Each structure stands twice: as structure tokens, then as C-alpha cells.
Amino acid sequence: MNSFGQKFRVSLFGESHGRAIGIVMDGVPAGIPLSEQDFTEDILRRKSGAKGTTPRIEDDKPEILSGVFGGKTTGAPLTVVFRNNNTKSSDYEIFKVMPRPGHADFAAGVKWENFNDPRGGGHFSGRLTLPVVAAGVVAKKIIGDVCVNARLVEVGGVSGGEEQWRDVLDQAIKDGDSLGGIVECSIDGVPAGVGEPFFDSVESLISHAVFSIPGVRGVEFGDGFYAARMKGSEHNDPIISDSGECGKNGAGGVNGGLANGNPIVFRVAFKPTSSIRKPQQTYDFATGSIGTLEIPGRHDVCFALRTPVVVEAMAATVMADLMSR
Amino acid sequence: MNSFGQKFRVSLFGESHGRAIGIVMDGVPAGIPLSEQDFTEDILRRKSGAKGTTPRIEDDKPEILSGVFGGKTTGAPLTVVFRNNNTKSSDYEIFKVMPRPGHADFAAGVKWENFNDPRGGGHFSGRLTLPVVAAGVVAKKIIGDVCVNARLVEVGGVSGGEEQWRDVLDQAIKDGDSLGGIVECSIDGVPAGVGEPFFDSVESLISHAVFSIPGVRGVEFGDGFYAARMKGSEHNDPIISDSGECGKNGAGGVNGGLANGNPIVFRVAFKPTSSIRKPQQTYDFATGSIGTLEIPGRHDVCFALRTPVVVEAMAATVMADLMSR
Amino acid sequence: MNSFGQKFRVSLFGESHGRAIGIVMDGVPAGIPLSEQDFTEDILRRKSGAKGTTPRIEDDKPEILSGVFGGKTTGAPLTVVFRNNNTKSSDYEIFKVMPRPGHADFAAGVKWENFNDPRGGGHFSGRLTLPVVAAGVVAKKIIGDVCVNARLVEVGGVSGGEEQWRDVLDQAIKDGDSLGGIVECSIDGVPAGVGEPFFDSVESLISHAVFSIPGVRGVEFGDGFYAARMKGSEHNDPIISDSGECGKNGAGGVNGGLANGNPIVFRVAFKPTSSIRKPQQTYDFATGSIGTLEIPGRHDVCFALRTPVVVEAMAATVMADLMSR
Amino acid sequence: MNSFGQKFRVSLFGESHGRAIGIVMDGVPAGIPLSEQDFTEDILRRKSGAKGTTPRIEDDKPEILSGVFGGKTTGAPLTVVFRNNNTKSSDYEIFKVMPRPGHADFAAGVKWENFNDPRGGGHFSGRLTLPVVAAGVVAKKIIGDVCVNARLVEVGGVSGGEEQWRDVLDQAIKDGDSLGGIVECSIDGVPAGVGEPFFDSVESLISHAVFSIPGVRGVEFGDGFYAARMKGSEHNDPIISDSGECGKNGAGGVNGGLANGNPIVFRVAFKPTSSIRKPQQTYDFATGSIGTLEIPGRHDVCFALRTPVVVEAMAATVMADLMSR
């Protein structure tokens, strides 16, 4: 369903080209200073406009509908909505007949018997990560000194930073193709013992939240998949202080599903953007055979560029929930 | 917490050396034939005894306490328990003073103020995966024709099968060290549309369940982390039939969080066993300095060998829940 | 928390004099025809204006923010909001110093350390029942032929109807006092077997939802409290047909927590309105002694008059949830 | 479903004549002293044997399967089971053909397509309140100084105590009939502010839990149904001290769904026992007409006599959950 969390619980709603998208946050402690300006910075980090992102700039103005009085949270549910103002719904009906490869068109059509809003991906749009970012802003305030930082560490197979992956981006733009990327996130300052065995382990909840982000293909903690190739004597981390500090943090800050006092570190693999300029093959339900589809509109060449703040928001949301319990 | 699922909900309990471990399954449909013998096959697949697993053989006899009458499920909660008969609790108190690297000793001690049962890892023991396997047996019956298959595809960095990784296992046994591994799981026959946006996506729920298994470091679907290095034109999958069939299934059977009608495919990275024969460094809370710890007892050299059936059980549990909704 | 339901789940938000109140409904099936006009009838039944209700008329215009496309539900979360346009927030600060008898002022102030929005009762206002009514409209569509009917059967101790209780209402208006009332609700057409033992019995879920309505003091099913004074031979209901029909329906349509195929019948006791014109005693936190409080504004003399449609909404919400499982 | 609670969560299982009944408690804080002897007192209060209860004495010996180590709770799930030793399953098959008036036979048979365990009422048996009592014992330890007290205040329409209702009990025994009763429960020492708007109000959660007890027909708080007949000036309670003390406590200790610092007081109506010695009419599915049923076995003439400790357990369970949040 569209809710997540037990004590800090978020409920997401909206469709890409509907009236509005938004999120209700329940379990926000009373007395936290909050204004609409507080959302600006993180919303800007998600915004498009940079190289490799769509040139279409959305108006992402948050409106707080409830839960704040006199500049402070009230303890009652906090609701933030974003109006969808500049939607241009071109003919999305075609995607019911010729479902786009990599998108939810086909599966959503089956699930909701084609009553789903097809415009801009509807409820499955990456636009839904905007209210997620809003929840992240509030979650970060709740967890206080705990610090969540995510950054892109790889684009199109090239690690490093903007300098390094400029060339592959340029090439993909030229080719009408798209690229994926890898985001690394670190959560510093989580006290040892946070997390709930068996099913609400730190990794379980973080991966649950992160795999909800459209386009995620993998999540790994600490040494991650590489750990499967290590020996125990290499992967095991000696505890070196009475605060539980580990030398290498190959466990990514979690043992037995519980925070162990070290930074919680995980990586997220994002697939390349599904909508590309290149013509693609897909099944044509009108003709009953495979046809060629060209996807109109302007799209991110690498949407992963915009995701670090979304990953942060998910991580903060999980920590706000776990630490409030 | 120790419950998982909404419509098919499992509640896990027990400690490694306590009286019993078990699981309560709520939401089991009435009328499914079930006997204690039905658990045998999957329990055997989890059993130790093979090369690379601990020579200590546990008695894993399931007892159905409730929910079955006249050989069929009743619709009321189904409870299966396993007595812990052959426990030898050596001096685990030492692990409160010198927490084992890679284990939950330190974090659990902080969380539960050292009241946690330390014997055999207590509630954090891999033994807890035994009732998980029992739930998987029931879940498989619930999902009927949907077929869940997991197998080990890599041990200690060597892919293939038993033949291929015999050497690395022998070496690790000789060295008193341990190995990790990678399990691949496929779920065939899930109808398109199964899954719930936004937060209860197929990937979210599977990763949530799978990251609850002790020792998991990463989960990836379809092309997984490799997808981050592909171009959209490579990763995108043309739909090639009216049932939604995809040519390459790089999405791992999921689009927009919903099953797309193709096999759901994911891989799980298991770390090397934390308990090794080699002496290790760890903090000694008695002396206030780093000391050397030797872990007694007999342990799996590669516990990943025993996990495919556990991964299957988690996958089946998730599908039973999602498909019952 | 502010969510209720498992499969049809509503999340309520808003404060009486904040920007808006609203509700998110998750689990609405796709393809149900729905427009903003569909809410009119039930909203009118809750509206004030009749004798015994406040002369202040609120603007109760619903806006559907998400979940509807082309006049039909999409399957994605359905959000309805109501702007609070005509709020006149007189000095509510006084109620933090002199909490109103019968209101949540004192308890909410303690809970949320006086950060709660005090205007018009904030999140504790009866105004929050407006989005509940909106959810009821959708729930009624979901349950289809199942018919929910609530009506006022007693006001100020007088049973009957408008004719009968006109005099006590007039007297209470004259006295600056207030009255309570009793609502009876019947749910017809629920198939036998609906309900979930042990904790999600039909009575448990209905009473849970109904006791959330501000001002409820009691809930009883079938013969209710009177059943405690009956003999088994009187209270027991012979089953008289193969559809499970009972002669007297003293069980109120529920046995063992499950619908038994008869109408589900329950009664709800509403207290008299807490805000009265008469001066009242209460503790004055400024002076540290008991003082006299006069409550300004215009209030319902008997808010129970407006509640039948709210009780219906709660009953329909519960049935939509139980019948969707 | 068979789970209840968010932070202190209980999961109930078992059938009256199955192998065992039991309960898993999740969210129990670590370090609480607990032994099997601690359950004795409350279990004895639920036991039969007194006048008006069944002469059949069950063996109610609790076994702690998990969650306790060295005499203290570990923080992991706490499981208590009771073996069903002395069951005599006479021919319950007849109740599938001739469902007993007042019992769940018909509704459960429809729900679970007659796969439900019919022996002794199966999962719908009052015997399931035994593990509820066990949970209550643990819950009472969790809430510490908060004191829960329930007592029978009325039997067969006669208020008072054992002396007063001896005659009606004797008469009912002689007549082969049964009686109902009313239990009053008080929870003292709950801090103001406990409870969660909107849907997890104190009344909502208590009524939810209490209506799960088989045979409950009504629940009311403070002045209860009588409040509907009072004027606001009578029912409203002046606050008379800075701790929020109310003079009359007609609100039953709750305002706006939150504890207001006064004792929480509620009353529960229990129906007369459904199984009576007198012959009864019911539908005979074999003949397709109404027939006469005689119910064999020995039953409580007034099971309400055994319920105060069950009501206490439910109240304590709710408070343990709310106060742990």
C-alpha cells in the first residue's frame, strides 16, 4: 500500500498529471520549527535542469495543509501537497496499446483494468518522489543530530564525479540513449541497538523504502555483494573501542539487523532511464504483433543524477520511524 | 518487530538455546491438506551435515500446535514449533565481555541492556530460519502453481556448482576460515499486476523479507547492479507477446513495483560465516583494550550453503501475502 | 494514529482552523464512478442549520486531489480535501489557561506540550468528521449492495423523532444548555462469515471506528446492555432458515465476531455538547484556583443530531475494509 | 486477524480441543522478572469451579517457550502456551448440521467452508481467553504502577455481589438456563495525554480489545449510555486541580480520545451463556426444517463470573501498547 512506517508513518498520494501529489506524515513530534521554506534546499537538489536531466522544469512549491501552527509542528498529522501546474498530457492513450518497455504501463493496466491514470506514468511516475523528499526534510528534523548523506558515485559505469562522467553523458545525449548510476548513502550518529529483530532489521526497512523508489535494481550494505567473495577473516570487523567502533565497517553499520554504532552505509543501483529518444520495439495490442514505438517528450538522460536526495529522504524516514519507537 | 505480512502474516519467536522456536501463521486459507511430514523435505535442505556445514546435527522435528484439524488447515492461526533439544550452552557470558566480530553480541547487549539470551546467539541465531522454512512450506501451498526456486550460484567467489567450489571450501576448512556465497531465486507463474504501489512493491517486500535473514549483504533484481552500467537501449526489454513476455527479463519480472508476468528473478549476497576457528581481535570490556578471542564450538564454514531454501521460504511468504490481498 | 483499516485504509488529517482537512483512502478498487457531486448528499446530512445545531454554516466543498481520472477511480490513493475558509479564530489561548470541561484542551496540551493548534479544538474538533463522511461515501460505493442506515432514535432522553424531542430541544436552547442522543445503525446485506477472529471481530472494528467519533460514550450490539439482564433462553436466537436467518436478531447480526447473515445492528450513545452557553467552573492555571469560564461562539445544542451520517460512514468504512480482505 | 497492538503486540493462536492454545507477545521490554508462577493468580481468577461455572476443571498450566532467560524477559518475543490435555470431544459434527443458537457454528462454517475445527467451539471458544489472561499478566508488569481492576457488578439483572445474586443463579441452574452480567473496570494512574488521535483513541483501542472477548454485547465509558440522557451542565466535569482532576469523572477518564489523568472507567455487558441445558430450536440442515437441539456437556451457567480478569487483561494489554509508544 501507500503507507510506510509504524511510529513515523507516511502516506503518499497523487498522480503525475492529476491535480496534486502529496504526503501525510503521522507521528511527527510536536514543537519542531517548520516552514515551507525549509523544503526548498532538498527540493532543489531533486530538480531537473542540469546536464543529463530533462530541460522541463516543474514548479515544485510545497503547501503545508495541516500539522503546523505558529511555525511549529502541532503533533497532529502533517500534510504537504504540491499542485501539478504545468502538465502537458500528450496522447498517453497510445501507451495502453503499445506499452513502453521498462515502464509500468502493461502491469498497471492489467492490475487496474486500464482505469489507471496513464498521463505521465500516473501514480507510477518518478514525480511521486517529490513528496518523498518533503517527508525526508521533516524526518531529518526528527532525527536531529543523526546525519544522512547520499551522493552519486557512478554514472554509466564511470565512477568519480561530474568531471569524470561528462563524456558518457554527452555521448548518451547525442545517441538518444540513457544511463544508470549508483548512489551511496551514509547515516552517521545512529546509536547502537536501533532496529528491531527479526523482520524490522535496519537493512530490511531501508531496503523496503529504497526499493520503492522507481528504477532501483539493487541495494547492498557495507561490503555488499563483494562480501560474498571475502573470507570471514577479511570481512569480519574487529571492534576496537567501547563504543563499538569497527575498523573497516564492512558490515555497513549493522549486525544482526541492529545498528552497531558505526555509520550505516549502503549503495543503491539505479537503472538507466526507460524513456529514450531511440525508437524501440514493443508489443502492439492493436495489431497483435511487435511494432516500433517512439516516445515523445523530454526526459532525463540519467534520472539517477536527481536521486541522491530521494535516497536520503528514504533513509531519514526509516531512521525517524525506528528511532521514535 | 517479529511479524511480517498483511494478509498472510507470520510471527516468529524463539531463541537458539531456549525451550523452543516457532512461528504463527495467520491468514492461512482453510482446507489446505497439511501434515508434519510435509515439512520434511524443505527442512532437510536447510540441515547441516554436508561439506562446509557444521557437523553438529540438530533435531528439527516440527510440531503443529494449532490450525490443522483432520489433516487440513482450519482457517485459524497455524502454529509450528521446534523444541531445542540438543543445546550445549558453553560459556556464552564471555561474548558479553568480548563481543564476537560480525555478530550481534555488542548491538543486542546495548539494545536489551544485556538481558538478551546470549546462548547460541539467542534470538539472533541463524536457527531462527528454521521456522521461516516451515512458513515457506505453507506459503508454497497457498500460492499453488506459482513455483519458487532458489539455488546457490557462487561460493567464495567461485561460480558454478559443488564441483567448482570444492577446492575453495577445502582450503577454508583447512585455514579455519569461512566463505560467503550468492543465491539466485526465481519465482515463476506470478500473474501480472501483483504488487502494491508505492511502498509495497514486489521488490520492497521481497528485499524486506530477505534482508531479515541473518548474514545478507545485498539484494538485486534482474540485471541488478549491472543495470547501472547499461544503456537504456540495452537494459530496456521489448514486450514481445500479449501476455507481457519480455525478451531478456532484465527487469527481473517487475516494473513499477508490479509483477509484469515474467519470472521474478533476484540474487542475494551472503557474507562469510562470522564464527571462524582462527583467533580474532575484538574489544575486551573487562580490560578496556583490544584482546584476542577464540570462538569455541563447531560452525558452518559457509552457511550460505544452507540458505537457498530459506530464501525460497521468504519469497513464498511474500507472494502468499501479496497474492492473498 | 490517524490511519484505520488494512485493505481499505483511510488516513485523516487537518485541524479545525488550519488550511484544510482531508482524508487519503488507500485500497479503493479501480473503475468506480466518482465525482465531487457524489459527496453532496451525505455532506448535507452532516451540515448544521437545523434546530438544535449551530447557526454557523460552514463551506464544505470537497476537492478530489488524486485517485480519480476520467470520472472513475484509478486504483491509486484517493484524496479528498476541504479548505477551511470561514474560520474566525477568537482567542483560543484562554483555553490553554482555563481548559474547557468536556474538551480535550487539558489532555492535548499535556500530550503535545501546548504546541497543539488550539483554534476550534484543532485536530480534536468535530469538524474532522467531515472527511470521515467523505470516506463513507466512497466506502458505500465499494460495498455495493450492502446498505448502511443510521438514524437518531433518542434526544435528551426522549425517543421517537423530531416531533417528540422538539420540546426538550427548545428548553435546552432557552437554558443555554445542551443535550445528548442515541443513534441506531443497521447494516443490511453483509454475507455470513465476514469478520476476522480473534481481534478483528465485526464488533471490535466497528466499535474501534465509532469510538473515534468525538463525543461517543457507549456502543452496543443487538440486545446490547439489556442482554446482560436476559436469560440464555430469551437472548439466544433460533436459526430459522438455511441462510442463517434469526428470529429476533438479539445478537445484532454477529456471532463469534463474524457476520451471521442477519442485519448488523448497533447503537451509539453521544454525550451532550460540551460547549454550552451557561458559565462553567474549571481550573484556572493562571491563578491556581477554580474559576468561572464562559465559552464564546455558537455551538450545536445537540451535535448528536448531525451524527447519523458519521456513524454510517464509519460503519461503511469498516465493512469496505472487511469485505475487501 | 489474531494480532493486536502496535508496540506491545500479541498474537493469539489455538483451538479449544487442539494440541495447545497460546500467545506470542512482541515488544516486551527486556529485564522484567517473570516466571511461570507469576501467571497462577490471574489464571485462578478465570478458573471454573465456583457456583454458576462449569464443574469441568481444566488444567491451565502455562509453559513459557521463549523470551525469558535467567528469570527475566530478554526483549525477544515472549511465548506462552497451554496444552489442551483433558479434552473430551463428543460428537461436535452435529453442530455443523444443527448450528447452536448464539454460537459461531453457522458463521464459522460458512467462512471456513466447514474446515474449521468444530470441537469445543474450536478457535471461537472462550478457552482462547486463557492466553489473553497470560498476556495480561505480562502487560500489568509492563505498565508498572498503573493499576487495573475489574469486578462483576451485576448478574442476571441483580447488582451488588455474590450474596445478592445467589438466588438468581440457583434459579437459573435449576431451570437449565443461563445468565449474563456486567463487569466494571477501572484503570488508575494513567498519565494525562496517553492515547492517539484520531483512530487510536483510548476508547477505540479498549473497545476493540474488549469486543474481541466472546460474548460481549456492549461497552461504555464513564456515564456511558446514561450520558445521552444528561444535559451538558450535568455531564460536563469541572477540572478542579492542576493535575486535571475532575469532580465526577463522567467522561470515564478520557477526553478527545486521550487519558485526562483521572481513572479510566468502563463497563462491559456480557450476554448469558449460549449453551444451556434447555432444549432449543434451530435449523436442521439435514432435514431442511427447524428441529430441536439438546446441547450435551457441562457449561457455565454464567460465564460472566469468570470474565473480570479477562477484561483486566485486555485493558492492561491496551495500556501496555499505548504507554510503550
**Chain segment B258-293, per-residue pLDDT in tens:** 999 999 999 999 999 999 999 999 999 999 999 999
CB-based contact, A123 to chain B, within 8 Å = yes
Identify the residue among A231, A265, A323 best suited for mutation to test binding to B, counting B beta carbons within 10 A and taking the highest: A231
CB C169 within 8 Å of CB C301: yes
Q: How many beta-carbon pairs under 8 angstroms link A with C?
A: 166
Q: Do A69 and C3 touch (CB under 8 A)?
A: no
Long-range contacts of A161-168 (CB under 8 A, 24+ apart): A166/A51
Cell numbers for A310, please give them: 530521494
Nearest to A24 by CA among C8, C23, C20, C133: C23
Q: Do D7 and A76 touch (CB under 8 A)?
A: no
Identify the residue among B98, B152, B199 best suited for mutation to test binding to A, counting A beta carbons within 10 A and taking the highest: B199
Q: Do A7 and D197 touch (CB under 8 A)?
A: no
pLDDT at A88: 72
Minimum Cα–Cα distance from A279: chain B residue: B233
Residue C289 belongs to what H/E stretch? strand C289-293
The shortest C-alpha distance from A15 to chain C (Å) reads 6
- Asked if residue C198 has a cis previous peptide bond (ω within 30° of 0), the answer is yes
Nearest to B251 by CA among B264, B268, B241: B264
Pick from C3, C74, C111: CB nearest A75: C111
pLDDT at A297: 79
Cell numbers for A296, please give them: 515523445
C-alpha R_g of chain C: 21
If DSSP states are collapsed to H, E and C, what string results for A20-75? EEEEEEECCCCCCECCHHHHHHHHHHHCCCCCCCCCCCCCCCEEEEECEECCEECC
Helices (H), chain B: 40-46, 94-97, 105-111, 129-143, 162-175, 202-210, 232-235, 308-324
CB-based contact, C72 to chain A, within 8 Å = yes
Supply φ then ψ for residue A266, to 5 degrees. Answer: -145, 160
Nearest to C199 by CA among D26, D84, D128, D122: D128
What residues of C are in contact with residue A134 (Cβ under 8 Å)? none
Alpha-carbon span D173 to D52, nearest angstrom: 7
pLDDT at A56: 74
Supply φ then ψ for residue B246, to 5 degrees. Answer: -110, 150
Q: Do C3 and A26 touch (CB under 8 A)?
A: yes
Examine the pLDDT at C88 and tell me if it is beyond 80: no
Minimum Cα–Cα distance from A8: chain C residue: C1
Examine the pLDDT at C292 and tell me if it is beyond 80: yes
What residues of C are in contact with residue D237 (Cβ under 8 Å)? 101-102
What residues of C are in contact with residue A66 (Cβ under 8 Å)? 13-15, 18-22, 123
| DSSP state string for C220-256 | EETTGGGGGGSBHHHH---B-STT--BSS-TTTTEET
Nearest to B280 by CA among B99, B141, B10: B99
CB-based contact, C30 to chain B, within 8 Å = no
Pick from B76, B197, B325: CB nearest C7: B325
Q: Letter for the amino acid at D299?
A: H
**Per-residue confidence band for A76, with pLDDT thresholds at 50, 70 and 90:** very high
CB-based contact, D242 to chain C, within 8 Å = yes
Supply φ then ψ for residue A143, to 5 degrees. Answer: -85, -5
Examine the pLDDT at B51 and tell me if it is beyond 90: no
Query: What average pLDDT score do residues A191-211 get?
Result: 97
CB-based contact, C26 to chain D, within 8 Å = no
CB D300 within 8 Å of CB D53: yes
Alpha-carbon span D282 to A4, nearest angstrom: 48
What residues of C are in contact with residue A22 (Cβ under 8 Å)? 65-66, 79
Cell numbers for B18, please give them: 531456549
Cα distances (angstroms) measured from residue D204 to each of C212, C274, D2, D36: 6, 20, 17, 32
CB-based contact, C163 to chain D, within 8 Å = no
Q: Do B76 and C197 touch (CB under 8 A)?
A: yes
The shortest C-alpha distance from A70 to chain B (Å) reads 32
CB-based contact, A193 to chain D, within 8 Å = no
Alpha-carbon span D46 to D29, nearest angstrom: 26
What residues of C are in contact with residue D23 (Cβ under 8 Å)? none
Contacts of D82 (CB under 8 A, 6+ apart): D14, D20, D21, D22, D60, D61, D62, D63, D130, D131, D134
What residues of C are in contact with residue A15 (Cβ under 8 Å)? 66-67, 69, 74, 76
Pick from B108, B182, B256: CB nearest A107: B256
**Chain segment C173-230, per-residue pLDDT in tens:** 999 999 999 999 999 999 999 999 999 999 999 999 999 999 999 999 999 999 999 9
Helices (H), A225-305: 232-235
Query: What average pLDDT score do residues A102-113 get?
Result: 95
pLDDT at D270: 98
pLDDT at A321: 98
Cα distances (angstroms) measured from residue A93 to each of A126, B241, B259: 19, 19, 22
Query: What average pLDDT score do residues A176-196 get?
Result: 98
pLDDT at B49: 76
| DSSP state string for B139-175 | HHHHHTT-EEEEEEEEETTEES-HHHHHHHHHHHHHH
| DSSP state string for C82-119 | EE--S-----TTHHHHSPPTTSSHHHHHHHTTT-S--G
Contacts of B21 (CB under 8 A, 6+ apart): B12, B13, B14, B15, B81, B82, B84, B127, B128, B130, B131, D66
Q: Do A79 and C14 touch (CB under 8 A)?
A: yes
Cell numbers for B85, please give them: 533439544
The shortest C-alpha distance from B41 to chain C (Å) reads 32
Q: Is the dihedral of CA B295, B301, B306, B308 positive or negative?
A: positive
The shortest C-alpha distance from C279 to chain A (Å) reads 29
pLDDT at A49: 76
**Per-residue confidence band for B96, with pLDDT thresholds at 50, 70 and 90:** confident
CB-based contact, C111 to chain D, within 8 Å = yes
Give the count of alpha carbons within 13 A of D195, CB side only: 32
Pick from B6, B76, B197: CB nearest C6: B6
C-alpha C173: how far from chain center = 23
Any chains having at least 3 CB pairs less than 8 A from chain C are A, B, D
CB C228 within 8 Å of CB D154: yes
- Helix C308-324 to helix C202-210 angle, to the nearest 10 degrees? 140
CB A116 within 8 Å of CB C30: yes
- Residue that is written with C-alpha cell 576457528 in the block: B277
The shortest C-alpha distance from D84 to chain B (Å) reads 10
Query: What average pLDDT score do residues B83-105 get?
Result: 85
- Helix C202-210 to helix D202-210 angle, to the nearest 10 degrees? 170
**Chain segment A5-59, per-residue pLDDT in tens:** 999 999 999 999 999 999 999 999 999 999 999 999 999 999 887 888 887 777 8
pLDDT, averaged across chain C: 95
Q: Is the dihedral of CA B174, B175, B176, B181 positive or negative?
A: negative
CB A233 within 8 Å of CB B282: no
CB-based contact, B283 to chain A, within 8 Å = yes
**Chain segment C99-145, per-residue pLDDT in tens:** 999 999 999 999 999 999 999 899 999 999 999 999 999 999 999 99
- Divide the 325 residues of chain D into consecutive groups of 10 and give the mean pLDDT of each group: 96 96 98 98 90 82 97 98 82 86 95 93 95 98 98 96 95 97 98 96 98 98 98 95 94 98 98 96 95 89 97 98 95
pLDDT at A176: 96
CB-based contact, D52 to chain B, within 8 Å = no
- Asked if residue C124 has a cis previous peptide bond (ω within 30° of 0), the answer is no
**Per-residue confidence band for A96, with pLDDT thresholds at 50, 70 and 90:** confident
What residues of A are in contact with residue C69 (Cβ under 8 Å)? 15, 18, 115-117, 119, 122
What residues of D are in contact with residue C171 (Cβ under 8 Å)? none
> ipTM of this predicted complex?
0.97
pLDDT at A26: 98
CB A290 within 8 Å of CB A281: yes
Q: Do B19 and D81 touch (CB under 8 A)?
A: no
Pick from B9, B75, B117: CB nearest D116: B75
Minimum Cα–Cα distance from C239: chain D residue: D282
Q: Do D101 and C172 touch (CB under 8 A)?
A: no
pLDDT at B5: 97
**Per-residue confidence band for B56, with pLDDT thresholds at 50, 70 and 90:** confident
Q: Do B3 and D20 touch (CB under 8 A)?
A: no
Q: Is the dihedral of CA D103, D109, D111, D116 positive or negative?
A: positive
Region of residue D102 (left: phi > 0; alpha: psi -120 to 50; beta: else): left
Region of residue C123 (left: phi > 0; alpha: psi -120 to 50; beta: else): alpha
Cell numbers for D79, please give them: 511465548
Q: Letter for the amino acid at D127?
A: R
Examine the pLDDT at B86 and tell me if it is beyond 90: no
Q: Do D211 and C196 touch (CB under 8 A)?
A: no
Alpha-carbon span A291 to A281, nearest angstrom: 6
Pick from A18, A76, A119: CB nearest C15: A76
pLDDT at D74: 98
The shortest C-alpha distance from C324 to chain A (Å) reads 14
Cα distances (angstroms) measured from residue A15 to each of A120, A134, C74, D38: 8, 16, 10, 55
Identify the residue among A198, A225, A249, A284 best suited for mutation to test binding to B, counting B beta carbons within 10 A and taking the highest: A198
The shortest C-alpha distance from B21 to chain D (Å) reads 7
Minimum Cα–Cα distance from B158: chain A residue: A229
Q: What residue ranges in C87-223 does DSSP mark as E strands?
A: 147-155, 158-159, 181-188, 216-221
pLDDT at B296: 84
Examine the pLDDT at C91 and tell me if it is beyond 80: no
What residues of C are in contact with residue B258 (Cβ under 8 Å)? none
